[in-house]
Amino acid sequence: MMHPIPTLHDGLRLADWTQTMKRSVLRDMIAVVSRPGILSLAGGLPAPELFPTDAFAQAASHVLATDPRALQYSPPFPALKAHIVDLVAQRGVSCTKNEVFITTGAQQGLDVLARLFLNPGGQVLVEETVYTGLQQVIAPFQPEILTVPTDLETGMDVDAVEALLREGARPAFIYVIPDAHNPLGVSMSAEKRRHLVELVRRYAVPIIEDDPYGFLCYEQRPEPPLRTLDNEWVFYLGSFSKILAPAVRTGWMIAPEALIPKLTVIKEASDLESSAFMQRAISAFLDAGHLPGHLATLCREYGTRRDTMLRALHECFPAEARWTRPTSGMFIWVELAPGTDTAALLTRAVEQEQVAFIPGHAFAVEGRSHASHCLRLNFSNATPERIEEGIQRLARVIRRE
């Protein structure tokens, strides 16, 4: 199933840390799911048929017709920063334009913050099941990774965080996705949010709050982000990837104003600046008032897809399976019977039923085995009919095991 990496020629020396570099399981998955005929519940992709292509095309043409600077090197676009201030206010986050740092996606926000905080060999504190993109960002630093478990209903185990800090751990940062965790789908309880923020203030440890999914909510209003509880220790990351389109490669960080000059220098090293054209096109899209209607469509449609997947899991999966019931985001996390090997299951699922998911071990820190019987399912990309079909196929493979 996997395409082997060609051997390197003799004498080519790579940096030491690349010796421990893991294959990107997610990249491997892309190769698998792009094979014709595979029904994929694997990636973290939005529904392509819901992209607001006409409205975005109009916004982009308007920019090109009216603003020649759109194709030039240019500093961050102030009008987009103003829009971001208004947008995050909908999540309860209050900030000024001067605290908005535009990024080339939330992934770059993670990278810039890791460079800001982390020394080679330093400590970081994450959940034991964590977004793979964070693992990739910190790998070159060869850090000591401290982990805490996650409760599938209330989120990160904050008591475990407290125990580590009390024992003397001083991580460079704590990474957390309080809303619609990727891959677990869980959102953190209000009480844990307060406790975590109280801890980082007491122990002077910054939090990276990654919030690409918070606008996609299917039930009651989500809890306010950690950044609403603290504006000094919480570094808040957002993105247009999941609410507009990943290919616009534009996101934001809300950070203390005094740090923006340092963040700017760090970011310049990787891409000089985020695309002026995209920043203006997104801004024009927002000027035209398209986002609220688009978000309402996404929440309605993804909510239906989530419900379809939950219903299909209930009807088709074995009684001993457990899964999360996300109130927002794009993922459901499934635990199968202990001892099940979901990496092997994936091979059979693709071969026998042409259906794909991401096995849990892909998200386990440093290859630990606690998630080897788990899998992540995406419910945003496939239509409800395909989701139902995909879960039925997967259930057949599991039954045959």
Ligand X SMILES: Cc1ncc(COP(=O)(O)O)c(C=O)c1O
Stretch that binds ligand X, among 88-96, 201-209, 239-247, 292-300 (CB under 6 A): 239-247
Stretch that binds ligand X, among 105-113, 186-194, 353-361, 393-401 (CB under 6 A): 105-113
Closer of 106 and 321 to ligand X (Cβ): 106
Among 127, 128, 209, 210, binds ligand X (CB under 6 A): 210
Q: How many CB atoms lie within 10 A of CB 214?
A: 29
Reading the block at residue 12, the tokens are 């080519």
212 binds ligand X (CB under 6 A): yes
State the distance between the two ends of the chain, measured CA to CA, in whole angstroms: 19
178 binds ligand X (CB under 6 A): no
Closer of 110 and 321 to ligand X (Cβ): 110
241 binds ligand X (CB under 6 A): yes
Reading the block at residue 75, the tokens are 């500093």
- Build a one-symbol-per-residue string for 13-52: x at contacts with ligand X by CB under 6 A, - elsewhere: -------------------------------x--------
Q: How far is the CB of 252 from ligand X (least distance, A)?
A: 9
106 binds ligand X (CB under 6 A): yes
CA 382, distance to chain mean position in Å, is 18
Question: Is the distance from CB of 171 to CB of 149 less than 8 angstroms?
Answer: no
Closer of 340 and 378 to ligand X (Cβ): 378
Query: What is the Cα–Cα distance from 263 to 251, expressed in whole angstroms?
Result: 14
Among 129, 239, 324, 340, binds ligand X (CB under 6 A): 239
Q: Which amino acid belongs to residue 108?
A: Q
Pairing relationship of beta strands 331-335 and 322-323 according to DSSP bridges: antiparallel
Residues 329-388 binding ligand X (CB under 6 A) are none
Stretch that binds ligand X, among 8-16, 99-107, 190-198, 361-369 (CB under 6 A): 99-107
Closer of 171 and 183 to ligand X (Cβ): 183
Q: How many CB atoms lie within 10 A of CB 52?
A: 18
Question: In sequence order, which ranges of 327-383 are alpha helices (DSSP H)?
Answer: 342-353
Among 59, 70, 88, 107, binds ligand X (CB under 6 A): 107
The closest residue (CB) to ligand X is 105
CA 137, distance to chain mean position in Å, is 13
Among 92, 246, 256, 303, binds ligand X (CB under 6 A): 246
Residues 126-155 binding ligand X (CB under 6 A) are 131, 133
Query: What is the Cα–Cα distance from 208 to 315, expressed in whole angstroms?
Result: 38
Question: Is the distance from CB of 364 to CB of 128 less than 8 angstroms?
Answer: yes
Closer of 44 and 143 to ligand X (Cβ): 44
Q: How many CB atoms lie within 10 A of CB 377?
A: 26
Stretch that binds ligand X, among 102-110, 270-278, 306-314, 370-378 (CB under 6 A): 102-110
Q: 155-194 burial string, b = 16+ CB within 10 Å, else e? A: bbbbebbbebbeeeeebbbbbbbbbbbbbbbbbbbeebbe
Stretch that binds ligand X, among 101-109, 193-201, 220-228, 309-317 (CB under 6 A): 101-109
Query: What is the Cα–Cα distance from 35 to 33, expressed in whole angstroms?
Result: 5
Which residues sit opposite 355 in a β-bridge? 39
185 binds ligand X (CB under 6 A): no
Helical (H) or strand (E) element with 175: strand 174-176
Stretch that binds ligand X, among 104-112, 137-145, 221-229, 360-368 (CB under 6 A): 104-112
Binding site for ligand X (CB under 6 A): 44, 105-107, 131, 133, 177, 182, 210, 212, 239, 241, 246, 251
